[in-house]
């Protein structure tokens, strides 16, 4: 599918950091053109706009900071980030520092557009580009607010040695972002929607709903007890604004396609993709490094690429708690996870993992099977019926991998086949042990790029668009906002819209919701209504970079980690040397050392002992 001109334009230039616009000019600039001369032209100015979009990619360089230290994911096989999973990170943490630095790099890239727009007098399109830059900047500030709390709001392009940037309060931070997005959502020059990777009024409105909701939790609720995730609602204005804004987005985007179709690699830029960072393989100078690795992140190691498997790093393995959230009839289990992986002989792409996308239906019906991962609710009788129906495909003669049937349950049922298709062993192992073995947990397939080459399989070789704002998530934002505003009926309506599309049974009340607990082996009701929302977000958004921010926002971070994160043994695991719980990430030590507007007293609670004077 044709990608945006933004990507194609970037293939012709080498753009690195944006500490100054002089960075665009090489040291041996034979034309001796100045930055002001370069970026005051239409062509030069457009490279600045493209750079601002391009810099957004850096926000998602590390998935762990969005997903680790939650109920949904765990690293195994010496993978993962133990400092994030166990909350032992400090203000010296490189992952946190890189996120903070990259986000402000996006802010400065957007501010460069606004700075040079005023110098680009003859370009009529600059006003549109200025509004796009304001959206990009607002997005970066939203992520900063969710990870770090109140942060320095910088509105001017930094191209000098200025170092004084004081920290704004959380109220000031939210007020600034909201004011910007309110204006952009009513813009007279932004397009209503956009599928080319640019900002739109719909994107601004979707982001505004998310910011309103976050502000409601942070400014209009009071935490009662962290271990229980209990809270008191002290106001509703932000929640009401979030509900109304999300409603307007949802009214414009009905959920008409199936979940599988929504995430199909052949259906990028569909109606539900409100805003996405776009990649294009054909414009990359090195296809092994020019994309991203989202397809490689979620799941256990499946085996070597030479065995025809998708490379999976084992950094973020889906927990048993997550698998048990899916019930029979919910289409999202099979649409989210690669439940059947075919065996491999020699043909990359049409055999092995990628055969699911690239082989014909008739070929798949007779192709040897390497892994089959039925859901936890699939009975032993149903597995036996599968074995009979696929007996001819469960031999591995001439193939790379022995056939295995592995049910994602607690304990895991693990059936290993001999080469001739007879059963070698049929055992049960606990889920955590299963995570350490090859291929026992299905990989997330939502982000698969079927054109991935063998040479690029272990690097940043995925060129699927990276969706930052999508419709079904905004439906869940609406459900949460209406719930917090006190309108349970409306909240259920939006929740059920998402469930109905997935084939899940509609809920008649929040109180009547139950989920199966793999440890207690019973169906249990949720502790609070917000748990119902969080469970639905877990099912709908597996592999998307929301979970840590979701738990922080909703005051459930401590409760969920105590209950489901094996790296957190008590609330003390999440408590810093100053006696405070680590609700945010630490302001990096380098920022405190170099920014004269911030000192150790500005450090987030939970980390002040790290930077005490």
Angle, CA 353 vertex, CA 287 and CA 335 arms, to 5° = 100
What pLDDT score was predicted for residue 30?
43
Any domain includes 446: yes
3 state SS for 290-301: CCECHHHCECCC
Q: What is the pLDDT of residue 77?
A: 64
| Cα(458)–Cα(452) distance, integer angstroms | 10
- Asked if residue 186 is part of any domain, the answer here is no
Strand (E) or helix (H) holding 537: helix 529-540
Give the separation between CA 329 and CA 406, rounded to whole angstroms.
19
| Strand duo 514-517 + 466-470: pairing | unpaired
* Rounded Cα gap, residues 269 and 259, in angstroms: 14
Q: Quick one: CA torsion of 540, 543, 545, 547, rounded to 10 degrees? A: 60
DSSP H or E segment with residue 382 = helix 380-389
Domain that holds residue 312: 300-459
DSSP 8-state code for residue 462: B
279 and 3 in contact (C-beta within 8 Å)? yes
The backbone region for 372, taken as left when phi is positive above 0, alpha when psi lies in -120 to 50, beta otherwise, is: beta
The distance of Cα 29 from the centroid of its chain, to the nearest Å, equals: 40
Longest Cα separation, the chain: 76
Return d(Cα 212, Cα 322) in angstroms, integer: 28
Under-50 pLDDT residues of the chain: 1-2, 4-30, 613
Listed residue (164, 135, 145) closest to 53, CA to CA:
135
Contact 171, 219 (CB under 8 A): yes
pLDDT in the model for residue 31 = 55
| All residues at 6 or more sequence positions from 175 whose CB lies less than 8 Å from its CB, including other chains | none
The H-or-E segment that residue 342 falls in is strand 340-342
Give the bridge partners for 523, in sequence order. 516
Residue 344 lies in a domain: yes
Residue 483 placed within a domain: no
Q: In the numeric block, which tokens belong to residue 207?
A: 């982001």
pTM of the model: 0.94
Return the ∠ at Cα 17 (arms to 11 and 21), rounded to 5°.
90
Coil, strand or helix at 247 = helix
Domain assignment present for 32: no
- Distance (Å, rounded) from C-alpha 532 to C-alpha 403? 37
Total of domains in the chain: 1
DSSP letter string over 538-607?
HHHTTTSTTHHHHHHHTT-HHHHHHHH-TT--SGGGGB-TTS-B--SPPPPHHHHHH-TT--GGGSPTT-
Instruction: Pick left, alpha or beta for residue 76 (phi over 0 → left; psi -120 to 50 → alpha; otherwise beta).
Output: beta
The reply to whether 352 falls in a domain is yes
pLDDT of residue 10: 38
The β-bridge relationship of strands 317-318 and 221-225 is unpaired
The tens digit of pLDDT for each residue in 18-71 reads 333 333 323 344 456 788 889 989 999 999 999 999 999 999 999 999 999 999
- pLDDT for res 16: 32
Instruction: Please name every residue paired with 425 in a beta bridge, in sequence order, or none if there are none.
Output: 416
CA dihedral over 544, 549, 555, 560, signed as positive or negative: positive
86: in domain: no
What is the C-alpha to C-alpha distance for residues 4 and 184, in angstroms, rounded to an integer?
21
SS3 at position 4: coil
User: HEC profile for 164-208?
Assistant: CCCCCCHHHHHHHHHHHHHHHHCCCCCCCCCCCCCCCHHHHHHHH
d(CA 294, CA 429): 29
The pLDDT assigned to 289 comes to 87
Give the tens place of pLDDT for each residue, 492-550.
999 999 999 999 999 999 999 999 988 888 999 999 999 999 999 999 999 999 999 99
User: Which stretches does DSSP call E strand in 272-315?
Assistant: 273-277
Residue 12 maps to a domain: no
């Amino acid at each position: 599918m044709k990608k945006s001109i933004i990507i194609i334009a970037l293939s012709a230039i080498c753009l690195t950091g944006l500490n100054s616009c002089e960075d665009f000019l090489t040291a041996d600039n034979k034309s001796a053109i100045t930055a002001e001369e370069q970026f005051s032209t239409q062509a030069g100015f457009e490279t600045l706009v493209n750079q601002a979009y391009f810099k957004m990619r850096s926000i998602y360089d590390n998935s762990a900071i969005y997903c680790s230290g939650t109920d949904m994911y765990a690293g195994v096989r010496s993978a993962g980030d133990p400092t994030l999973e166990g909350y032992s990170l400090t203000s010296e943490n490189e992952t946190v520092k890189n996120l903070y630095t990259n986000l402000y790099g996006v802010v400065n890239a957007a501010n460069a557009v606004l700075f040079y727009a005023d110098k680009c007098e003859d370009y009529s399109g600059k006003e549109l580009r200025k509004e796009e830059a304001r959206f990009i900047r607002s997005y970066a500030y939203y992520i900063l607010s969710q990870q770090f709390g109140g942060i320095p709001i910088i509105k001017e392009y930094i191209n000098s040695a200025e170092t004084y940037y004081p920290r704004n309060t959380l109220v000031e931070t939210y007020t600034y972002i909201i004011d910007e997005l309110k204006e952009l959502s009513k813009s007279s020059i932004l397009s209503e929607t956009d599928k080319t990777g640019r900002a739109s009024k719909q994107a601004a409105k979707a982001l505004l709903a998310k910011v309103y909701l976050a502000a409601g939790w942070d400014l209009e609720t009071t935490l009662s007890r962290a271990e229980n995730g209990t809270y008191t609602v002290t106001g509703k204005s932000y929640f009401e604004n979030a509900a109304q804004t999300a409603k307007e987005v949802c009214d414009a985007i009905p959920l008409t396609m199936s979940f599988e179709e929504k995430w199909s690699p052949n259906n990028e830029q569909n109606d539900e993709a409100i805003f996405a960072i776009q990649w294009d393989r054909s414009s990359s100078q090195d296809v092994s490094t020019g994309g991203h690795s989202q397809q490689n992140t979620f799941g256990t190691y499946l085996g070597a690429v030479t065995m025809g498997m998708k490379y999976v790093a084992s950094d973020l393995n889906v927990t048993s708690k997550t698998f048990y959230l899916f019930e029979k009839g919910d289409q999202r289990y099979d649409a989210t996870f690669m439940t059947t992986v075919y065996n491999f002989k020699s043909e990359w792409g049409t055999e092995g993992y990628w055969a699911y996308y690239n082989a014909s239906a008739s070929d798949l019906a007779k192709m040897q099977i390497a892994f089959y991962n039925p859901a936890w609710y699939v009975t032993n009788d149903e597995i036996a019926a599968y074995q009979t129906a696929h007996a001819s495909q469960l031999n591995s003669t001439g193939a790379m991998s022995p056939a295995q049937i592995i049910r994602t349950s607690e304990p895991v049922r693990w059936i290993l086949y001999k080469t001739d298709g007879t059963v070698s062993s049929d055992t049960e192992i606990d889920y955590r042990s299963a995570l350490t073995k090859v291929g026992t947990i299905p990989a997330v397939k939502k982000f698969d790029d079927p054109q991935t080459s063998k040479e690029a399989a272990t690097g940043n070789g995925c060129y699927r668009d990276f969706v930052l704002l999508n419709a079904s998530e905004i439906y869940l934002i609406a459900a949460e906002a209406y719930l917090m505003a006190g309108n349970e009926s409306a909240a259920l309506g939006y929740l059920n819209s998402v469930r109905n599309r997935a084939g899940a049974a509609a809920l008649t009340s929040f109180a009547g919701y139950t989920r199966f607990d793999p440890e207690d082996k019973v169906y249990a009701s949720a502790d609070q209504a917000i748990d119902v929302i969080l469970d639905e977000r877990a099912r709908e958004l597996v592999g998307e970079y929301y979970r840590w921010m979701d738990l922080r926002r909703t005051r459930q971070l401590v409760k969920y980690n105590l209950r489901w994160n094996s790296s957190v043994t008590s609330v003390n695991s999440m408590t810093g040397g100053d006696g405070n719980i680590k609700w945010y990430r630490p302001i990096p030590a380098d920022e405190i050392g170099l920014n004269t507007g911030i000192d150790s007293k500005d450090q987030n609670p939970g980390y002040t002992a790290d930077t005490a004077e």
